[in-house]
Amino acid sequence: MSHIAKSRLTQAQLDAHWMAYTGNRQFKQDPRILTAAAGHYYTDIEGRKIFDGLSGLWTCGLGHSVPAINEAVAEQVKTLDYSPAFQFGHEKSFLLAEQITEFMPEGLNRIFFTGSGSESVDTALKVARAYWRKKGMGTKTKFIGRAKGYHGAGISGFSVGGIPANRALYGQGLESYHLPHTQVPGTEFTKGMAEKGAERADDLLNLIMMHDASNIAAVIVEPMSGSAGVIVPPIGYLKRLREICDQHNILLIFDEVITAFGRMGTKTGAEAFGATPDIITLAKQVTNGVIPMGAVAFKQEIYDTFMEHGGKDYMLEIPHGYTYSAHPIACAAGLASLGEIKKQGVIERVNGMSSTWENSVHQLRVASDIVTDIRNFGFSAGITIAPIDGEPAKRPFQIAMAMWEKGYYVRYGADTIQLAPPFTTEQSEIDSLINALGETIKQQN
């Protein structure tokens, strides 16, 4: 069914917008236009209710149009709509920074605000390099990422990221190297963390031997790789990375843009998987997706190093920041979002639902033999779909479009379907989502 007839947009208007991470040619032939959102549902231009199976883009875990967030944003617009981010401050930025530290592992208690997850990654990498220079070890400039990792759309993020399609078009970025991903044969259809695969952390030793720790600034990984299709770390893997980084004086960065603030059934992925990094990048759920915002949590020793070597106290300790760092409206949304996470007991709720969610998504294994793997953790899941005619992305795209027609939004990426419903989703909604997805997968045979 084509939806273009009911769109109020002209073809010229559609063509004017070069859309992000979208097949523009296909979309503009058959636009999928959203007009409203409330609770767990979008409304499209035809008035259909569309269940949000990915919480926006892993952003809206509290659902849409949350009254407390709406009210906080509306009030902030009326009182202080913008505050200069350089050399001036406003109260809510300090309040929000303190609130964020309550969710972070012990010791990561210094917060730097950005405008997005991509900016958070860029900030983390820049600070890592500058930190070693401040410590008199300026040769430590290289980074180590991981195959299938996603760290935003900036040039630093794609450099350390490991999704080939995101890198191939742009040529050389920052000097960086990559660990193998943690999906090993024999772990397909594992529920939660696999028992095999932790030994892949030792590949870091090979990279250190090749490039020498004196040249390596940091290792950056996602605790759980969401954009790659919910790749869950094996038992002990992240702890082993932590051990190796400690042994060789290398910073460890966790990209928690997806995993922080409840998605894992914990405050952070670091907590879920039992390993504490030196730096954590944040975004998405900070404001429940209402206003763009990112943040980076640093261990205090990193912050103190800049303060101790900052020169005169009126001088900049680090020449870095963004026009929209700690934007007042974003801070208001962030305070309300984190407040609702605590008030609603979201983390406890996700913990309580995770086993039921796990059992539900793994029912899809019997839907069709084109389902070649299912992975899950917390309130997220990834389903790998066998390729068709050498086109790994075609079937997932077809499945996602068929689900849209049935009234469900799920994300497709490469050979996977990704699921991450709002934290407050009811069991009946989970059942409907999984039943619809199972039927849709069967129809692809």
pLDDT digits (tens, 9 = 90+) for 314-327: 999 999 999 999 99
227 vs 423: CA distance, rounded Å: 19
Least Cα distance to 423 among 290, 288, 326 occurs for 288
Q: Does domain 69-343 have CATH number 3.10.270.10?
A: no
Separation of alpha carbons 437 and 314, rounded Å: 58
The pLDDT, as a whole number, for residue 173 is: 87
Q: How far apart are CA 44 and CA 32, in angstroms?
A: 7
Q: Is the pTM of this model over 0.95?
A: yes
- Which residues 6+ apart lie within 8 Å of 414 measured at CB? 163, 165, 228, 229, 392, 393, 396
- Fold of the domain built from segment(s) 32-62+345-442: Aspartate Aminotransferase, domain 1 (3.90.1150)
Checking if the pLDDT of 178 tops 80, the result is yes
Cβ pair 208, 168 in contact under 8 A: no
How high is the pLDDT of residue 128?
A: 99
Residue range 406-416: mean pLDDT, rounded: 96
In angstroms, how far is CA 1 from the centroid of its own chain? Answer: 32
Q: What average pLDDT is seen over the chain?
A: 96
Query: DSSP code of 393?
Result: T
Beta-bridge mates of residue 49: 43
Measured distance CA(279)–CA(252) in Å, rounded: 7
Whether pLDDT at 175 is above 70: yes
Identify any residues that bridge with 319 across adjacent strands, giving them in sequence order. Answer: none
pLDDT in tens, 322-352: 999 999 999 999 999 999 999 999 999 999 9
Tell me what the mean pLDDT of segment 377-403 comes to: 94
End-to-end alpha carbon distance in the chain: 21
Would you list the DSSP string of 277-308? -SEEEE-GGGTTTSS--EEEEE-HHHHHHHHH
Per-domain boundaries in the chain: 32-62+345-442, 69-343
- Give every strand in the sheet of 49-52, ordered side by side: 34-38, 41-44, 49-52, 408-409
At residue 1, the pLDDT reads 46
pLDDT of residue 6: 61
pLDDT tens, position by position, 66-124: 999 999 999 999 999 999 999 999 999 999 999 999 999 999 999 999 999 999 999 99
The DSSP line for 243-257 is HHHHHTT-EEEEE-T
Q: What average pLDDT does range 418-443 have in this prediction?
A: 98
Report angle CA 357, 363, 366 to the nearest 5 degrees.
165
How many of the other CB atoms lie within 10 Å of CB of 236? 18
pLDDT at 353: 95
